Amino acid sequence: MKHKTCVSIAEKTPKRMNQLIKKALKRSDYVEIRFDFLKPEHVPQALELSKKYLKFSVCTLRPKAEGGKFSGKESERISIIKLISEYKPFLLDIEYNTLRKNRSLLNYVRKTKTPILVSWHDFKKTPSMNDLQKKMNQMKKTSKNVKIVTTAKTVKDASKVLSLYSISSKINLIAFSMGDLGRISRVLCLYLGSPYTYVSLGKAVAPGQFSLDEIKSIIDT
């Protein structure tokens, strides 16, 4: 089985973003487009420029409260997410907390038939196994595509998150830990069933992220 990669693209202009998407997809299966790095008014242009690549794209508009760059009003962010959904990307990453508070957004995206990747991040720690399992069970009611990412303070934290794969039937689970101590989980998740792992083209976009070259040297040997 071929293990797949998803290159995180975080650029400040639509033109540069599009250039890197093209470059990344020559060597990677997917790209994650971080629309939150753009000014909100530039998102429509970025969507138009990249629309032929969206079937290979995981689209994200992460707010500051969830570790992203978007700092505008939540109502504006919801409107932009709806616009992105109309372009039908491969996956639209929306935070579990956002969907929990906004049922109308969930219904809107479902009507577009755009697959949702429901995501949850803990940027400070790794919760207990019981809490992680509960969270996963709650999230999978929203979508069959579930992403759970924690911060590893110990190697045991990373193995805790990876153990979710053994109880994740009937969903597409992406689960790993951030930080240096969680780095190995970004590789091992591929062997446990994750559809892909996130990588960078150079500088890491998230703590502990491997570059595309680094990950390929590991999984292609």
CATH of the domain at 208: 3.20.20.70
| Residue-wise pLDDT tens digits, 94-141 | 999 999 999 999 999 999 999 999 999 999 999 999 999 999 999 999
Number of domains in the chain: 1
- Enter the tokens of residue 195: 């559809």
23: confidence class by pLDDT, cuts 50, 70, 90:
very high
| Residue-wise pLDDT tens digits, 165-179 | 999 989 999 999 999
Contact 175, 164 (CB under 8 A): yes
207: confidence class by pLDDT, cuts 50, 70, 90:
confident
Domain range for 177 is 5-219
Percent of the chain with pLDDT over 90: 93
Q: With H, G, I as helix, E, B as strand and everything else as coil, classify residue 155.
A: helix
Residues belonging to the active site: 121, 147
| Averaged pLDDT, 203-215 | 88
Taking 3-state DSSP, the helix, strand and coil percentages for the chain, each rounded to the nearest 5, stand at: 50, 20, 30
202: confidence class by pLDDT, cuts 50, 70, 90:
confident
- pLDDT score, position 1: 56
| Residue-wise pLDDT tens digits, 66-91 | 999 999 999 999 999 999 999 999 99
Alpha helices in the chain (DSSP H): 14-25, 43-50, 74-86, 96-101, 103-112, 129-139, 155-162, 185-192, 212-219
- pLDDT score, position 2: 82
- pLDDT score, position 99: 97
Contact 117, 94 (CB under 8 A): yes
Percent of the chain with pLDDT over 70: 99
Whole-number Å distance between alpha carbons of 16 and 149: 28
- Enter the tokens of residue 73: 């009003």
- pLDDT score, position 152: 96
Higher pLDDT, 206 or 176: 176
Whole-number Å distance between alpha carbons of 211 and 202: 6
Q: Based on the number of CB atoms within 10 Å of its own CB, is 113 exposed (0-12), middle (13-18) or buried (19 or more)?
A: exposed
221: confidence class by pLDDT, cuts 50, 70, 90:
low
- Enter the tokens of residue 116: 């949702």
